[in-house]
Amino acid sequence: MRRSEAFQVLGVEPRFDLSQRELRAAWMRRAASAHPDAAGGVDESARVNDAMRILSDPIERAQALLEQRGAAAVDGRAMPQEFLLEMMELRERADACGGDPAAIDELRTEAGSRREAAVAEIARLFTVDAAGPLDSGRAEQVIGQINAIRAFDRMIEQLDRESSGGSAGP
């Protein structure tokens, strides 16, 4: 299934700011009718579950909207230079923690807050012009925010490993 089909499969409006409550309600309705015990089929049930998985994840949902709005051909490595410098500084601070639980928790909280800010920025970028094709500049901004979310996720994973006594890794 193409990501962009997930909205139609669950019967929800194609937009980024879908709440988990909306998604769960739509999934429950579709899952009930798609279940093999309700005259549905295994394939149909799997499509409904795949759609829920895609739309529940902000990265996947953003990529589905990009695909749907004709921005799939944009360079997927877009990342603002200033963001790269900020991440380098955060990683240096993480390396300097030396296993200090309080310092690690502080960095984890900061990375989590910045991740949420990136999710909010994606919502704003999709809301500014909610219909029609997405221009390449805005699509690159969305992809840059997706990449920022991934970077913060990796940072949080690194901090979690460090706080549990594992290797911080590269």
Alpha helices in the chain (DSSP H): 6-10, 20-34, 42-56, 58-68, 81-96, 101-128, 136-163
Query: What are the pLDDT digits (tens) for 22-65?
Result: 999 999 999 888 766 666 667 888 899 999 999 999 999 999 99
Query: What are the pLDDT digits (tens) for 76-124?
Result: 776 778 888 999 998 899 888 888 899 999 999 999 999 999 999 999 9
Give the model's pLDDT for residue 74: 56
Alpha-carbon separation of residue 108 from 117, 159, 160 (angstroms): 14, 7, 8
Half-sphere exposure at residue 80, Cβ-oriented, CA atoms within 13 angstroms? 11
- Per the listing, tokens 């901004």 go with 141
Mean pLDDT computed over 142-150: 91
pLDDT confidence bin for 70, thresholds 50/70/90: confident
Mean pLDDT computed over 141-168: 84
Give the model's pLDDT for residue 131: 67
pLDDT confidence bin for 169, thresholds 50/70/90: very low
**pLDDT: is 151 or 81 the higher one?**
151
Q: Tell me the domain boundaries of the chain.
A: 3-56, 81-163
Give the model's pLDDT for residue 45: 83
Cα 36 to Cα 116: distance, rounded to the nearest angstrom: 37
In CATH terms, the fold of domain 3-56 is Helix Hairpins (1.10.287)
Look at residue 167 and tell me whether its pLDDT is greater than 90.
no
Give the model's pLDDT for residue 170: 46
Token pair recorded at residue 136: 């390449």
**pLDDT: is 80 or 158 the higher one?**
158
Look at residue 137 and tell me whether its pLDDT is greater than 90.
no
Maximum C-alpha span of the chain: 59
Give the model's pLDDT for residue 98: 81
